[in-house]
Amino acid sequence: MVSLQELQESAHVVSIPLRTRFRGVDHREAMILRGPSGDAEFAPFLEYDAAESARWLAAAIEASWGSWPAPVRDSIPVNATVPAVSAAEVAGVLARYDGCTTAKVKVAERGQALEDDVARVAEVRSILGPSGRIRVDANGGWSLDDAVWALTALSGFELEYAEQPCATIDELASLRIALVNNGVDLRVAADESIRKATDPLLVARRHAADVAVVKVAPLGGVQAALDIAVEAALPTVVSSALDTSIGIAAGVALAAALPSLEFACGLGTVELLSTDVTSEPLVPRAGAIDVRRPLADRFSFVPASPERESWWRERLAAAYAEL
């Protein structure tokens, strides 16, 4: 395996302002690693401990010192991502996603009410029109009862699916039954219940979701995520974790290797960043992203402070010790 010294010598730490505050932050920090196979991203969210971060490091090592599965397609349809903005801001957000006819809308934001979610989703539906596809993402923010109430209210907008409406697998399984009993025809998707689980296949065995949302870095790499997606045998959506284009490339590689791809993928999130680490970013064109691997050639535009550089290098060492 590659040594810690090699990783440290290859590393560049960046800090990129976000266009809109997302997941409680207004800057995205990441460490870019450069190995013989290409550039890779190590960017677990700041609150993750060393053990959880180690999976992200395994994915980065695979990307820069290993190989990815062969692609079976050369273009990936992607969705727009609408943060928990006001309805008046929705049009500006969607305008950044060239040709995207699917939108994922953040709901259940702390400090907001269901009325805010309804207004935001209504505006997205108005802009996309009746043929557009809308999915909502609660990031596990609702209780079971609140999820039933909220999704019943939002179901009139003909949602494609609801992503991680509740936090636990038990709640997701119960929610699927409750929605049917309420006459709500709506798929339930699992994200955190897969990527943060000790057993990422449990959600499928428990019949707690209709759709699997899979992210490369939290699952330890493209091959590991592909194996999980295939074994889960659920329709799969590949999503990002607020990545730079270097991280997005790994998600694109996974989406390109899946045996089938029924839904648009959540890989257009570079548009949430104010800039990128590459001069050839992976952003949607006509609603899709080409399968390619960009080079990180803009480190000097987004350097992290010396203090944050040191923090990330210590974090890299702690994660490496867990491998």
- Report yes or no: 203 and 193 within 8 Å, Cβ to Cβ: yes
Separation CA 148–CA 172 (nearest Å)? 11
> 215, 293, 298, 315: which is the annotated catalytic residue?
215
State yes or no: is 215 an active-site residue: yes
Q: Are 136 and 145 in contact (CB under 8 A)?
A: no
User: Can 104 be counted among the known catalytic residues?
Assistant: no
Q: CA-based Rg of the chain, rounded to a whole angstrom?
A: 19
Place of tokens 């590393």: 11
Q: What are phi and psi of 3, to 5 degrees?
A: -80, 160
Choice among 12, 106, 120, 135 that is catalytic? 106
Length, in residues, of the chain: 323
Give the CA distances from residue 280 to residues 15, 154, 270, in Å, rounded to whole numbers and listed in that order: 18, 37, 11
Among residues 99, 112, 59, the alpha carbon closest in space to that of 223 is found at 59
Residues identified as active-site:
106, 215
